[in-house]
Structure 1
């Protein structure tokens, strides 16, 4: 199944394919282009030079060719999942598409105020303090859930608000997880258990850059 097709910076478009549909999508690409050549994870259509560059899911970064990718997605690795937005966090360990361990939490962070002058400064300081406290509590939860599973994790997949994720991961205890962080940030709504489960499915998809 093709999902979330969207324009790509610099040209072309991104599509995402569920692992179960990847082989069928590849067969379709070959069929539409009267065959194709393979150079690592890049396919080039024989009829018009269209290209499809496949990006493996988190935890399969060492995959270097299409056959290895097909084998890898059939045995998805264990990954950690961290979703964060202002005032909310969801963290879990994912085996395949199953969230085996998880924790979801909300934190109070005051919204912005329209007041000016001294009042605005006071609210801003309070809001910053609340955001810092939320990030610290979030880091505690991430450490509690993910660090015990660290030896078996192939990657850390993050989603939500990048600045909030970064604020959580500055905690020195989480440095081993930062080393596993996958560069692609999942686009997710406010973290909840249902959102965490949906993100576990999304994390397995193969991202493909199509040109044109």
Structure 2
């Protein structure tokens, strides 16, 4: 059976579960392996995973699950590809405190051979390095050091992380930017999901933020 995953904002989760029951009939809700599992009488199922890399161990109630999906005190999104970068800092209400989107030209690959190919490769590597350094400068400025408290108590008394970073784009490019020592405090709080995005633009960043804060539901 094929599966697909949809991103559902926490505030829409209860309605989504109601609609699932309407489409598939009586549905049993359980909490299994840190996620909410819906199993309908017609054989259809759905598995809901909290954002920010969290496990869920509460009651099998969509409203409670939605509450548990609340954002950390401070969180960020960092997207990097050779064609550009995007970074945003958000608060616990998902308000964008600061953001930056930028593009830097990095030449594509060439079919030339010999010394020409080597010169081209060096030029391309230098352009990529400069692009990543620029992205790191902006990321360090936007994200800053983040909050000093690593964890806090949520509204249900749970001990949860105070900050998180969701990343995406090209893995090598993201790693190159996060190698900057100014971003060291954020490397330890990277959480799922990885975001496979195209060259970052403002609309791409907006979509990435929406995905990062959503409950990921796998159907099938």
Q: How would you bin the TM-score normalised by the shorter chain?
A: 0.7 to 0.9
The residue matched to 1:202 in structure 2 has which SS?
helix
Aligned equivalent of 1:4: none
Using the alignment, how far apart are the partners of 1:12 and 1:129 within structure 2?
Answer: 42
Counterpart among 62, 70, 77 of residue 66 in structure 2? 70
Q: Is the 8 A contact 1:93 1:102 kept in 2?
A: yes
CA RMSD of aligned residues (A): 2.4
In structure 2, distance between residues paired with 1:138 and 1:187:
18
Find 1:28's aligned residue among 2, 14, 19: 19
Per-residue Cα deviation, 1:89-134 (whole angstroms, up to 9, x for no partner)? 1111123343211122222322222211110111001111221222
Alpha-carbon distance, 1:44 to partner = 4.4
Indicate whether 1:56 and 2:53 are aligned. Answer: no
In structure 1, the residue matched to 2:177 is: 168
CA 1:194/1:44 → structure 2, altered by over 3 Å: closer, same or farther? closer
Output the TM-score relative to the length of structure 2: 0.79
- Distance in 1, matches of 2:39 and 2:206, equals 36
CA contact (8 A) 1:162 1:185 kept: no
Within 5 Å, give how 1:104-183 maps onto structure 2: 104-151=101-148, 154-183=163-192
Q: Distance in 2 between matches of 1:87 and 1:62?
A: 34
**Distance 1:169-1:72 versus aligned 2 partners, 3 A rule:** same
> Alpha-carbon deviation of 1:11?
4.6
Q: Which position in structure 1 is the counterpart of 2:155? A: none
Q: Residues 11-22 of structure 1 correspond to what in structure 2 (within 5 A)?
A: 11-22=2-13
Query: Alpha-carbon deviation of 1:188?
Result: 2.6
- After TM superposition, give the deviation of residue 143 of structure 1 in Å: 1.5
For 1:161 and 1:56, locate their aligned partners in 2 and report how far apart those are by CA, in whole Å: 24
Count residues with an aligned counterpart. Answer: 200
Deviations, residues 174-195 of structure 1 (Å, cap 9, x unaligned): 2221111113222333223333
Match of 1:94 among 90, 111, 117: 90
Shift of 1:62: 4.3
Contact 1:99 1:200 in 2 (8 A): no
Deviation at 1:20, TM superposition (A): 2.5
Gaps of 5+ in 2: 150-161
Which residue pairs with 1:7 in the alignment? none
Q: Distance in 1 between matches of 2:128 and 2:11?
A: 40
Structure 1 unaligned residues grouped into runs of 5+: 1-9
Residue 47 of structure 1 is matched in structure 2 by 41
